[in-house]
Structure 1
């Protein structure tokens, strides 16, 4: 008799399993399918991003070769298509190179705007923003152009900080003050360079030379 009861119990269990499967089976299958799709999608996205990165690297390298070969107009067009500071990577590097190409083509105004976009772009690392700010100010001074007030404010923030760009920002401030005829302020900026720590020797010598000229 025990065998009969065991068989009946097994049949009941199978019926319960069958009922559960009919009720929840489709959801289990759907969940499994979603998991497979999600994994495949993630792997596909990784492959896509890798392909995009390789393509960006190749495009950037080709544009740099054009720039080095004095094919400046073609290089500028290539860098312009890539330039997107906030995206980082080669898009950020292309933005800096775009400014260089614009300078070589004699378009100082466009170069200044490119550096400003880098300096103001969200998501760009502070070090790159500082570099773009200093490059914009120094180029404006070299070109005899007015330095926008926003760039002047950003330069002051760099000069007042403790980053490695501080001496260069002070030097740019000194040049800017001297250009504006603000001799005392220029002396103050150059003095801070000569008295500062971790200032490159060549930069310290330039500051000392400028102080000597300003105090004549």
Structure 2
């Protein structure tokens, strides 16, 4: 055997010894890391399965309560929603609370419904859910409350940077109209019309409000009230776009 072959065998043996030494040194860490990864994957999959099953069960309970409410079994629906609000998972308890408030309104307990929506608004960390609760409470108070009641809930939402400003301004305008503050109502409706993000159907509804106010003599016949009246004429004559003319708008609440 040549000297070169002998040296090669010695090098290979030394490398093998070093590899075995390294493996003995780091094997516990490698094996432990692999076990930890497998355990984490198993826990994650198990938790995903658990939360999915819990959400599915909560979803079934919510639909069961909605079916009961649709069938007129309001007491049964209320009981199921109470249970879901107390024991549900994910976002279902909040949905249950919103539906409970709506049930109170359907039962004629408008004060209780407003209180429930106010409670939701005060307890929600999600700003969109908080705004929704305030708008739903204000929607009830347009008919049953005072202008100050509505303002207390939507005034902060009717600002130029408010995400729900168009709905807030419409509710505010209706409450102002009901209270006899026609100039303020006109300003609220015009703010929605002039909003570049307002959809055509929403502008159409504001135009109806302003046209009614113009015909009743509660606003001066100036722009944009005249423009609103012209818009109504265009809709009646079929000159407006189909998507605008197709959706009739509500009128301001009668005094």
Superposition TM-score, scaled by structure 1 size: 0.74
Does 2:71 align with 1:72? no
In the alignment, which residue of structure 2 is the partner of 1:204? 207
Q: Is the 8 A contact 1:137 1:172 kept in 2?
A: yes
Structure 1: tracts of 5 or more residues without a match: none
Distance across 2 between alignment mates of 1:159 and 1:131: 13
Q: Is the 8 A contact 1:183 1:214 kept in 2?
A: no
Distance across 2 between alignment mates of 1:167 and 1:88: 30
Higher helix proportion, which one?
1
Distance across 1 between alignment mates of 2:216 and 2:137: 25
Distance across 2 between alignment mates of 1:73 and 1:215: 45
Q: How many residues align?
A: 210
Q: Is the 8 A contact 1:190 1:208 kept in 2?
A: no
List per-residue Cα deviations over 1:53-109 (Å, max 9, x = no partner). Answer: 22222111111101101111221233334449xx87544433321211122234334
Deviation for aligned residue 1:214: 6.7
Q: Which moved more, 1:90-99 or 1:131-140?
A: 90-99
In the alignment, which residue of structure 1 is the partner of 2:169? 170
Alpha carbons of structure 1 residues 210 and 162: separation in structure 2 relative to 1, 3 Å: farther
Distance across 2 between alignment mates of 1:72 and 1:208: 40
Q: CA RMSD in A?
A: 3.5
Q: Is the 8 A contact 2:186 2:210 kept in 1?
A: no
List per-residue Cα deviations over 1:174-197 (Å, max 9, x = no partner). Answer: 233345454442343345456666
Alpha carbons of structure 1 residues 18 and 190: separation in structure 2 relative to 1, 3 Å: closer
Q: Which moved more, 1:206-215 or 1:72-81?
A: 206-215
Alpha carbons of structure 1 residues 23 and 5: separation in structure 2 relative to 1, 3 Å: same
In the alignment, which residue of structure 1 is the partner of 2:159? 160
Alpha carbons of structure 1 residues 73 and 213: separation in structure 2 relative to 1, 3 Å: farther
Alpha carbons of structure 1 residues 167 and 10: separation in structure 2 relative to 1, 3 Å: closer
Distance across 1 between alignment mates of 2:212 and 2:194: 14
Alpha carbons of structure 1 residues 183 and 170: separation in structure 2 relative to 1, 3 Å: same
Superposition TM-score, scaled by structure 2 size: 0.65
